[in-house]
Chain A
């Protein structure tokens, strides 16, 4: 396992960080949650953040926290899908296709919410599960997976996820 500094990874995959923060902010705007501060990209830790007010509405918390998972995953697939066919099926090594793959996988790599996002969902889900909220029930395994995924980041789980979405899914569809 080789180690690359997080800042270097952030620079190489900066579109994913911008989209990740954009997704948080986007769902804050949709759910009318006040945003105190937002940083879409910087060289540092964290590489981006959105500071917003707390909300007691579980659906809102879920959407804001899981926003990047939805938007980054979707964009990763949509960007990689057109690039996949000429490379894989027609053996055409056009540089533009590789740029699309880099962009798509970079965005996919930052799809998984942070532990802090998972914590927010987990704390509210604990309360909401008493009300038999379906989303709260579903969010438990999801939160567990997020925690596990964030541990596995050390083993390039984020890159593997990006590749699985950007290249794995098109190869499942088109063979």
Chain B
């Protein structure tokens, strides 16, 4: 241990570590306390703290006259130097950090299905908007299967399945799907309209043309400005005329057809449908749309 003399009290046995230099003057602890009782009294003064190079700053062991190696400004004995340089994380800290890493991994693994479902929903909506109802339904069903605990997703899956079935003319199965979700889905999903369309399909398939007309008029009541709804009523009247020969039905079919034409007489889809209704009125033959397209790929013309 190194000893120094206090410049104030002249004490010669003061350990170097128990002193402080203020403006190059050595103060022992009691003299320092006495002369600088508060921080303000030290303002503007040069403060130096000398560290005894023979005492380990870490274990405070006295090495007599042997001056120790330093780490930074601190004299450190060999044993402590090894400890400091090889300082490791305590076991509990390692355990804690491994636990956090495990939580991250488990969190991602456990919740990965939600991300997959989310991705499938996004894609399903995209395909649905583009009219690819089959792919949309497959993706939505997959999303629902991944997170079966989400009831809303199950409902959406039924809705998508219903739309897909309707697009494939499987109206009866589509109606069953729509009935499952009709009380859950909000109005903007247009479930009422889809149910009516399914009923139209079922009536047509069962050759129940009065039912077809009733459902078509129900559909028209939802939106009287829609040319598809108007032509659907015309189609139903055309079927009644074709099957029963009722002249009024023919006049009504022509009347609704002209109303539909007044709204949309340009789109290819609409013109093709009108053409089929005209064929039905003229020939009194009721054939499906696909069959009509097959028979008259370039459209039907009255000879």
Q: Which of A's residues lie within 8 Å of B, judged by CB?
A: 15, 18-19, 22, 25, 34-36, 38, 40, 53-54, 75, 78-79, 81-83, 85-86, 89-92, 96-97, 100, 103, 107, 174
Stretch at the interface among B30-38, B89-97, B215-223: B89-97
List residues of chain A with CB within 8 A of the CB of B29. none
List residues of chain A with CB within 8 A of the CB of B84. 34-36
A–B pairs, 25, beta carbons within 8 Å: A18-B96, A19-B100, A22-B97, A35-B84, A36-B84, A38-B87, A53-B71, A53-B72, A75-B100, A75-B104, A78-B108, A81-B107, A82-B108, A82-B110, A82-B112, A82-B114, A85-B111, A85-B118, A90-B117, A90-B150, A90-B152, A90-B153, A103-B100, A107-B100, A174-B118
A100:B114 contact, CB within 8 angstroms: no
A79:B97 contact, CB within 8 angstroms: no
User: In this complex, which of B57, B104, B108 has the most chain A Cβ atoms within 10 angstroms of its Cβ?
Assistant: B104
Distance, CA A38 to CA B104, complexed state (A)? 25
Distance, CA A82 to CA B150, complexed state (A)? 17
Distance, CA A90 to CA B74, complexed state (A)? 58
Contact of A79 among B87, B107, B149, B153 (CB under 8 A): B107
Interface residues of B in 118-161 (CB under 8 A from A): 118, 147, 149-150, 152-153
Distance, CA A4 to CA B96, complexed state (A)? 26
List residues of chain A with CB within 8 A of the CB of B96. 15, 18, 22
Distance, CA A25 to CA B96, complexed state (A)? 14
List residues of chain A with CB within 8 A of the CB of B149. 92
- Give the Cβ gap from A18 to chain B, nearest Cβ, in Å: 6
Distance, CA A61 to CA B152, complexed state (A)? 53
- Summarize B's interface: helix, strand, loop or mixed: helix
Interface residues on B, range: 20 to 34
B118:A89 contact, CB within 8 angstroms: yes
Known: A25-B89, A82-B108. 20 other contacts (CB 8 A): A15-B100, A18-B96, A18-B97, A19-B97, A34-B71, A34-B85, A34-B87, A36-B57, A36-B71, A53-B71, A54-B73, A78-B104, A79-B104, A82-B111, A85-B115, A86-B111, A89-B114, A92-B150, A96-B110, A97-B111
Distance, CA A22 to CA B99, complexed state (A)? 13
- Give the Cβ gap from B271 to chain A, nearest Cβ, in Å: 41
A85:B114 contact, CB within 8 angstroms: yes
List residues of chain B with CB within 8 A of the CB of A18. 93, 96-97
- Give the Cβ gap from A41 to chain B, nearest Cβ, in Å: 9
B118:A83 contact, CB within 8 angstroms: no
Distance, CA A103 to CA B111, complexed state (A)? 16
A54:B72 contact, CB within 8 angstroms: yes
List residues of chain B with CB within 8 A of the CB of A86. 111, 114
> Is B295's beta carbon under 8 Å from chain A?
no
B58:A100 contact, CB within 8 angstroms: no
